[in-house]
């Protein structure tokens, strides 16, 4: 069953559930809905393929910093992983294979950018406009991801630059950087992968660092033939690897969220790495972080520092004053002419532009509501005033230490059970009670108040403009799994077709 296409090519269709986005979260939701026997759903995806951030981030060196065994769906282990930490093409291949294997591609509408989603309280429906026409749905699942909207730096004159300029998540593969003078702005997770990948081929690379990151070794290796065979033929072998990695990663939460002093051994390891890989004392001082390890995302690389010490790479720590037609000018007045600028400045996380496009019961958008209180949700998933809407990778579901796929699967459990409960009980609407949402978030903020993310002396994308951490989950991930195991309708206002208990 494919969506109706009218004579003029515009789709106009009602379905029970619409999922926006087909990265790990949206695709996983589609698979679960199909497994639960639903056929009346669609996934609206603005790109031409599944994969989300793994489809979009194709920059040289792109790879995951979470081990492959854990960075995959629990229901779809991948015996084909070639390395302990996968690179982007392999992850994207995996996601596409899973989409094909579980037969949900015909539920997708690709190249379908959702321009608005409004709750119609009279009809108890979401009205969705997109570049592929309009849809209505009883249930809306937003699965657009937190790291999908590139944040561009507000630098004087940047729009006048006449050379090649692009964001790390929108890599211009037509731009040949060989032999060029290149500037890269930012030293986050994306930049530290790009820099070693392009440094050997460019004529000169100026790295503009605003804050030095903490760097740990990347314990990456190709799997041996024996391991690969074991993954394929020994029952439970991959699950065993997965469990081991999962447990070792969970222990980090104690240090990050509860007792930052427990991060000291990691800090010593990072300092030793820095000492041995950057022998020049002046450069070492410049790349030594000035905040507690873990406060920003810890980066892993064996190639970043060796790239920085190359003769054709310069680390610039003076702030950027402006960009001209052909150069980047530092605050100390130094003009560095360049042919290309790579903007590796991250994403709109707590202020996503998509928030303005989703309007709830009283016509207020997520941007309006979050503007008042900061982004928050009940169990990271449901938001008062937005009935029948579930938000995957929502507020405080992010992680600083392990795989987001685990959190996503927890949220999918919750949403699938909500849809099941609505069907079974004949519910027309479910809307989380504001007091439950507020209490949940008070408790979260209380838990976060001991964390290194709040007290580590850094500014990061984990914090919103009020300085609150509205992105990360402060506990063990199995605690989140536990609280999302079943849909708790007592936390919700519900209406049925006949009786209202509002
Ligand atoms: O973005 P970031 P990212 N002028 O926001 C700097 C995931 N990820 O794309 O630290 C100058 O971390 C900014 O400086 P500062 C992962 O969750 C995963 O690198 O704010 N500089 C920083 O250095 C990650 O955390 C993987 O002072 C400016 C950089 O730009 C998240 O995505 C790989 C600036 C931005 O770093 C985002 O990573 C890639 C300005 N105006 C990404 N504005 C893996 O799995 C910002 N900066 C390996």
- Sign of the alpha-carbon dihedral angle for 377, 382, 386, 390: positive
Residue 129's pLDDT band (boundaries 50, 70, 90)? very high
What is the torsional sign of CA 328, 332, 333, 335? Answer: negative
Nearest to 140 by CA among 346, 422, 468: 422
Question: Does the pLDDT of residue 474 top 90, yes or no?
Answer: yes
Mean pLDDT for all residues in the chain: 95
Residue range 181-189: mean pLDDT, rounded = 98
In short, whether 191's Cβ falls inside 6 Å of ligand 1 is yes
pLDDT, residue 5, reads 44
pLDDT tens track for 200-259 = 999 999 999 999 999 999 999 999 999 999 999 999 999 999 999 999 999 888 889 888
d(C-alpha 416, C-alpha 449), whole Å:
32
Give 142's DSSP letter: E
CA 478 – CA 414 distance, rounded (Å):
14
Which residue's alpha carbon is at the smallest distance from atom 37 of ligand 1? 346
Say what the pLDDT of residue 466 is: 87
Q: Which residue has the tokens 């429906």?
A: 125
Question: Which one of 85, 215, 345, 456 would you pick to mutate in the ligand 1 pocket, going by the greatest count of ligand atoms within 8 A of its CB?
Answer: 345
Statement: residue 392 has pLDDT above 80: yes
Find the distance separating the first CA and the last CA of the chain, reported in whole Å: 36
Angle at 473 between CA 288 and CA 438, to 5 degrees: 130
Any atom of ligand 1 within 6 Å of the Cβ of 188: yes
Ligand 1 pocket residue status of 60, Cβ below 6 Å: no
Q: What is the pLDDT of residue 498?
A: 64
pLDDT for position 260? 85
Residue 11 is predicted with a pLDDT of: 59
**Cα 400 to ligand 1 centre (Å):** 13
Indicate if the pLDDT at residue 8 is higher than 50: no
Please determine, for residue 276, whether its predicted confidence score (pLDDT) is greater than 60: yes
Statement: residue 324 has pLDDT above 90: yes
Rounded distance, CA 232 to CA 221, Å? 18
Taking CA 190 as the corner, what is the angle to CA 256 and CA 95, rounded to the nearest 5 degrees?
90
pLDDT band (50, 70, 90) for residue 497: confident
Comparing 260 with 96, which gets the higher pLDDT?
96
Q: Ligand 1 mean position to 345 CA, how many Å? A: 5
Q: Give the separation between CA 303 and CA 117, rounded to whole angstroms.
A: 44
Q: Mean of the pLDDT values across residues 186-201?
A: 98
Higher pLDDT, 260 or 425: 425
How far apart are the CA of 228 and the centre of ligand 1, in A? 34
Could you tell me if the CB of 88 is within 6 A of ligand 1? no
Query: Which residue has its alpha carbon closest to ligand 1 atom 13?
Result: 186
Q: Is residue 123 classed as helix, strand or coil in its secondary structure? A: coil
Mean pLDDT of 101-126: 97
Angle between helix axes 237-250 and 225-233 (nearest 10 degrees) is: 110
Q: How far is the CA of 151 from the centre of ligand 1 (A)?
A: 9
Residue from 86, 189, 214 to probe ligand 1 pocket by mutation (most atoms less than 8 Å from CB): 189
Residue 128 pLDDT exceeds 90 = yes
- For residue 3, the model assigns a pLDDT of 46
CA of residue 154 to ligand 1 center, whole Å = 15
Ligand 1 contact via 64 beta carbon (within 6 Å): yes
pLDDT at 116: 98
Residue 2 has pLDDT above 70, yes or no: no
Max distance between CA atoms of the chain, in angstroms, equals 75
Quote the ligand 1 centre to 389 CA distance (angstroms): 30
The residue that leads in pLDDT, 180 or 500, is 180
For residue 136, the tally of other CB atoms under 10 A from its CB is: 15
How confident is the model over 305-319, as pLDDT tens digits? 999 999 999 999 999
**Cα–ligand 1 centroid distance for 347 (angstroms):** 8
Q: What is the pLDDT of residue 499?
A: 52
Query: Is the CB–ligand 1 distance for residue 186 below 6 Å?
Result: yes
Q: Is 65 in the pocket of ligand 1 (CB under 6 A)?
A: yes
State the average pLDDT over residues 194-199. Answer: 98
- Residue 458 Cα, ligand 1 centroid: separation in angstroms? 13
């Amino acid at each position: 069953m494919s969506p109706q296409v009218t004579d003029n090519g515009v789709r106009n269709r009602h379905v029970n559930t619409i999922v926006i986005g087909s990265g790990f979260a949206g695709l996983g939701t589609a698979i679960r809905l199909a497994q639960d026997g639903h056929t009346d759903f669609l996934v609206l995806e603005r790109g031409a393929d599944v994969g989300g951030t793994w489809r979009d981030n194709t920059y040289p060196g792109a790879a995951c910093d979470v081990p492959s065994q854990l960075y995959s769906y629990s229901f779809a282990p991948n015996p084909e992983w070639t390395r302990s930490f996968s690179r982007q093409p392999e992850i994207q291949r995996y996601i596409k294979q899973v989409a094909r294997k579980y037969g949900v591609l015909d539920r997708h509408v690709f190249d379908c950018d959702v321009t608005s989603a409004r709750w119609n309280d009279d009809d108890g429906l979401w009205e969705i406009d997109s570049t592929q026409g309009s849809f209505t749905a009883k249930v809306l699942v937003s699965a657009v991801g937190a790291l999908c909207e590139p944040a561009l730096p507000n630098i004087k004159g940047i729009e006048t630059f006449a050379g090649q300029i692009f964001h790390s998540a929108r890599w211009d593969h037509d731009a040949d950087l060989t032999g060029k003078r290149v500037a890269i702005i930012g030293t986050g997770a994306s930049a530290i992968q790009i820099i070693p990948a392009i440094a050997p081929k460019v004529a000169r690379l100026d790295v503009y660092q605003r804050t030095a990151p903490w760097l740990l070794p990347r314990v990456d290796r190709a799997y041996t033939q024996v391991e690969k065979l074991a993954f394929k033929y020994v029952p439970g072998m991959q699950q065993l690897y997965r469990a081991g990695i999962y447990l070792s990663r969970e222990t980090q939460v104690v240090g990050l969220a509860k007792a930052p002093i427990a991060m000291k051994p990691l800090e010593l390891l990072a300092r030793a790495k820095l000492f041995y890989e950057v022998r020049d004392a002046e450069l070492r001082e410049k790349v030594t972080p000035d905040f507690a390890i873990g406060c920003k995302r810890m980066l892993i690389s064996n190639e970043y520092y060796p790239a920085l010490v190359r003769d054709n790479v310069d680390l610039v720590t003076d702030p950027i004053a402006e960009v001209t037609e052909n150069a980047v000018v530092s605050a100390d007045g130094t003009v560095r002419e360049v042919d290309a600028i790579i903007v590796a400045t991250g994403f709109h996380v707590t202020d996503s532009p998509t928030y303005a496009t989703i309007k709830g019961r009283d016509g207020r958008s997520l941007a309006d509501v979050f503007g008042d209180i900061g982004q928050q949700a009940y169990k990271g998933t449901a938001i008062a005033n937005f009935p029948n809407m579930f938000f995957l990778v929502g507020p405080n579901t992010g992680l600083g230490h392990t795989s987001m796929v685990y959190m996503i699967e927890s949220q999918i459990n919750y949403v699938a059970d909500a849809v099941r409960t609505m069907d079974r009980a004949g519910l027309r609407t479910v809307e989380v009670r504001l007091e439950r949402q507020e209490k949940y978030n008070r408790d979260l903020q209380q838990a976060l108040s001991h964390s290194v993310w709040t007290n580590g002396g850094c500014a990061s994308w984990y914090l919103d403009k009020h300085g609150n951490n509205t992105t990360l989950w402060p506990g063990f991930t199995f605690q989140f799994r536990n609280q999302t195991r079943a849909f708790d309708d007592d936390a919700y206002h519900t209406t049925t077709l006949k009786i209202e208990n509002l």
